[in-house]
Structure formats: structure tokens, C-alpha cells
């Protein structure tokens, strides 16, 4: 693996964060080590702000929007997504899958403290096992998803598996977000999220925007869309 690169910011105005509980978690955090203690492996600022405003600009206020997230971790980015859903004025829910039981419990506690637990639900288990039944329930053919954030395992096969499970349930103008997109792998190693994105474009086409200077080890946040609505 290539040496770590970090693009999470710490010297910023906490009032820019969209949720009071998230602001409390970030209070006094000035280093990666402190961030690990208070908000764990989350994308951090400015990624939180980017996702929040992206969703505010994309969610359709005239429909019930359901959002899929994989890899809730301790729920910080989950809070941001749920807050965007709430602030957009949309009906609907965020559905977040987390494999680790301790992370799932912490995420639920953080969602409650952030006052967004009525708009977000944590599902326990491996995403590949939970997603098929969940997607059939929340994204039937007449109501496809318009937002998914795939951020569980970063191994190539796992990323591809999640993407190809969600793909049939997406509207043409849906956006799919990926974290940790920087090419960290050396030749011969698992190519992780970066390699999966290359395969997605070659196999499924679509449009991809990769934002390099956001998040931390591994940095990078990408937005994929199959067909923009023009």
C-alpha cells in the first residue's frame, strides 16, 4: 500500500456543520488521533458539508425519498445524510447497514443524540446479505432510489458486489457516492475502491466526479451518475 494521505480539515468553523451533535463531537478535535476517539473513521469536514449540500440540491421535495447507506460506522456521516433528508422537506428514510454490532449500537446512540433517529434506521449484518431484501422493500420498480452511499468494505469485490446489487434499483438520475477513492494500492494488490470505480465506468458507463482532497486515509470522494436528467 502507498503511504497514508489525509485531507480531513480541523481548522474550520464548527458552525458550518449541519447538526448540533456533530458540532459537539468535533469540539476541540485538532488531529487525526483525536478524531478517531470522538467520531471514528468518518469522512470529516469538508466532506460532511459537501454531502449535505449535494443532497439538499438533489433530493426531490415532491416525492418520498429513501436513501441507502452501507458502512454506518458510528453514524457521523449517517447524521449528515439524515439531516439533509430532514432539511430538504422530503418524506422518507435513510436506511444504513452496519456489520459491526458495537458500531451499530454507537451509531444508534449518535442518531438519537442528533435528533434524527426518526429519519434513519440501522440494519445489522453484511451488506451483501441485507441489501437484496431491503432494496426490494424500499426501492420497488415504481419508486427507485435516487441516492446511495456505498462505504462499507473497501475491497474491490465488496465494492463491486454492493454496486451491482443496488444498480437495478436506481433511477437513471440517481447518484451513488463512494468514499476512499484514492489509488492507494500498489500493482498486484487489491485495487479497492479506485479499481472498482474503473470497472464500473468500463462495465456500466455513466458519469464520475472524483474529489481528491476530501476525507482521510484513504482520501477521495466520488459521485457516480448513470444518466443526468436534462
The per-residue pLDDT for 76 is: 97
The per-residue pLDDT for 104 is: 98
Summarised one tens digit per residue, pLDDT across range 119-148 is 999 999 999 999 999 999 999 999 999 999
Whether the pLDDT of residue 229 is over 90: the answer is no
The per-residue pLDDT for 230 is: 85
3-state SS record for the chain: CCCCCCCCCCCCCHHHCCCHHHHHHHCCCCCHHHHHHHCCCCCCCCHHHHHHHHHHHHCCCCCECCEEEECCCCCHHHHHHHHHHHHHCCECCEEEEECCHHHHHHHHHHHHHCCCHHHEEEEECCHHHHHHHHHHHHCCCCCCEEEEEECCCCCHHHHHHHHHHHHHHEEEEEEEEEECCCCCCCCCCCCHHHHHHHHHHHHHCCEEEEECCCCCCCCCEEEEECCCCC
The per-residue pLDDT for 12 is: 97
Q: Which domains does the chain have, with CATH numbers?
A: 14-225 (3.40.50.150)
The per-residue pLDDT for 107 is: 97
Model pTM? 0.97
Summarised one tens digit per residue, pLDDT across range 159-216 is 999 999 999 999 999 999 999 999 999 999 999 999 999 999 999 999 999 999 999 8
Summarised one tens digit per residue, pLDDT across range 59-114 is 999 999 999 999 999 999 999 999 999 999 999 999 999 999 999 999 999 999 99
The per-residue pLDDT for 135 is: 98
The per-residue pLDDT for 4 is: 84
Summarised one tens digit per residue, pLDDT across range 18-63 is 999 999 999 999 998 999 888 888 999 999 999 999 999 999 999 9
Amino acid at each position: 500500500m502507498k503511504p497514508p494521505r489525509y485531507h480531513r480539515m480541523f481548522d474550520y468553523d464548527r458552525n458550518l456543520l449541519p447538526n448540533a451533535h456533530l458540532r459537539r463531537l468535533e469540539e476541540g478535535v485538532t488531529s487525526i488521533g483525536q478524531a478517531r476517539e470522538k467520531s471514528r473513521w468518518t469522512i470529516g469536514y469538508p466532506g460532511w458539508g459537501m454531502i449535505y449540500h449535494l443532497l439538499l440540491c438533489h433530493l426531490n421535495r415532491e416525492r418520498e425519498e429513501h436513501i441507502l447507506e452501507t458502512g454506518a460506522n458510528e453514524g457521523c456521516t449517517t447524521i449528515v445524510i439524515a439531516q439533509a433528508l430532514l432539511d430538504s422537506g422530503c418524506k422518507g428514510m435513510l436506511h444504513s447497514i452496519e456489520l459491526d454490532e458495537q458500531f451499530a449500537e454507537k451509531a444508534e446512540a449518535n442518531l438519537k443524540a442528533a435528533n434524527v433517529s426518526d429519519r434513519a434506521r440501522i440494519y445489522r449484518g453484511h451488506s451483501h446479505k441485507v441489501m437484496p431484501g431491503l432494496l426490494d422493500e424500499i426501492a420497488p420498480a415504481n419508486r427507485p432510489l435516487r441516492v446511495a452511499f456505498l462505504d462499507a468494505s473497501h475491497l474491490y469485490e465488496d465494492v463491486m458486489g454492493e454496486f451491482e446489487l443496488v444498480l437495478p434499483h436506481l433511477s437513471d438520475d440517481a447518484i451513488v457516492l463512494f468514499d476512499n477513492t484514492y489509488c492507494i494500492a500498489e500493482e498486484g494488490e487489491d485495487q479497492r475502491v479506485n479499481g472498482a470505480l474503473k470497472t464500473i465506468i468500463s462495465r456500466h458507463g455513466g458519469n464520475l466526479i472524483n474529489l481528491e482532497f476530501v476525507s482521510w486515509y484513504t482520501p477521495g470522494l466520488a459521485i457516480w451518475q448513470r444518466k443526468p436528467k436534462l
